[in-house]
Amino acid sequence: MMKAVGSAESQAERDIEAAMLDARALFGEGARYAPVSGGISNSNWRVQSACTSRDWFVKIPGNGTEMFIDRVAAMDASRKAAAAGLGPKIYEDLAHQGVEINDFIPDRRPSTHADFGNPANRAAAIAAYRQMHALPALGLTKTVFDMIDEHHVQMAELGAPVPRHAEWIALNTKMARDAMQASGLDLVPSFNDPMPGNFMIGADGSIMLIDYEYASMNDRCYDLGIWFGEMFYTPEVEAELIEEYFGRVTPEIVARVTVHKALADVKWAAWSMVQLKVSALDFDFYKYGVWKLMRFQQITSDPAWKEQLRRL
């Protein structure tokens, strides 16, 4: 249900109303708003003009997100993706406040895990990743190792919970870091955040990407590894997608993607513990982080783990 400015009942609604007033030149008088569900970092809104059929998507930064999101870099990535037709048009009226405004895209819908059980949708996602990786270079370079280091410093500063198997995690993360850095990183503009809702599917089956706040120059295999992990793909489907992206499947590429999949779990587990301490959103960050580490331990406990590191 759309609400009018002046009817706010919560702090989140007061925040979006303040943003709408600040950007009244864009939205016009009498614009209304409603929440958009799905995010676990920020509060998201649909704003509708009173005099036209025009709608916008507005993202209000969540509490504490400035600790790990560079809003200037996010705008840079959003701008370049929009110029390439990969992402929706972006408006910079409130960019100085860190508030992101995009065109609302009603002719597309957010994907689900079930959508990517369909081979055609998987191929469309790979096409979107190829387009992302071909964008002009982004202003921010932030590898998975940079992300992990950043979150571990934040965890210590906040007194966040430390995993029971912290030494095992640290040892295997260091092994992966040493092997990956020895082989060299293939840095490209990377999306870094494959939540299903960030893949917007059109009636023609094509995919646009939204939400570039974690985008950076990073290894292209991180993007594939984190997406494979998010979707719980079998080794057979992973091989299919590696071939779709690279045109071939080799033990070296499989190893690189698998190691990045494990590292992504370390990153997002640490992110979860930071969010546990700073976020005001109603989400079980502790459970999410523990689950990520369970999968990291599953990958790194496999006898194939050391062989994968050698193949990098």
Print the domain residue range for 57.
3-104
Mean pLDDT of 3-28: 93
Find which of 33-37, 42-46, 238-242 is predicted with most confidence, using mean pLDDT.
238-242
Cα dihedral 123→84→194→219 (10° resolution): 90
Banded model confidence at residue 123, pLDDT cuts 50, 70, 90: very high
Please report the pLDDT score of residue 279 as a whole number: 87
Q: Domain holding 130: CATH number?
A: 3.90.1200.10
- What digits encode the pLDDT tens for the residues 193-234? 999 999 999 999 999 999 999 999 999 999 999 999 999 999
Please report the pLDDT score of residue 42 as a whole number: 85
| In a shared domain, residues 70 and 206 | no
Please identify, among 49, 83, 104, the residue that sits at the C-terminal boundary of a domain. Answer: 104
| In a shared domain, residues 164 and 284 | yes
Task: Judge whether 72 and 66 are in contact, CB under 8 Å.
Answer: no
Please report the pLDDT score of residue 183 as a whole number: 95
Mean pLDDT of 13-28: 94
| In a shared domain, residues 30 and 71 | yes
- What digits encode the pLDDT tens for the residues 164-200? 889 999 999 999 999 999 999 999 999 999 999 999 9
The conformation of residue 141, written as its DSSP 8-state character, comes to B
d(C-alpha 243, C-alpha 78), whole Å:
28
Banded model confidence at residue 37, pLDDT cuts 50, 70, 90: confident
Banded model confidence at residue 40, pLDDT cuts 50, 70, 90: confident
| In a shared domain, residues 152 and 231 | yes
Residue 39 has pLDDT above 90, yes or no: no
| In a shared domain, residues 115 and 238 | yes
Banded model confidence at residue 282, pLDDT cuts 50, 70, 90: confident
Mean pLDDT of all residues belonging to the chain = 94
| In a shared domain, residues 164 and 94 | no
Residue 50 has pLDDT above 90, yes or no: no
For residue 219, what are the β-bridge partners? 187
Please report the pLDDT score of residue 138 as a whole number: 97
Q: Domain holding 28: CATH number?
A: 3.30.200.20
Residue 305, phi then psi, degrees to nearest 5: -55, -50
Banded model confidence at residue 64, pLDDT cuts 50, 70, 90: confident
Mean pLDDT of 78-94: 95
The conformation of residue 65, written as its DSSP 8-state character, comes to G
Residue 41 has pLDDT above 80, yes or no: no
Mean pLDDT of 275-284: 88
Residues 6+ apart with CB under 8 A from 228: 238, 241, 257, 261
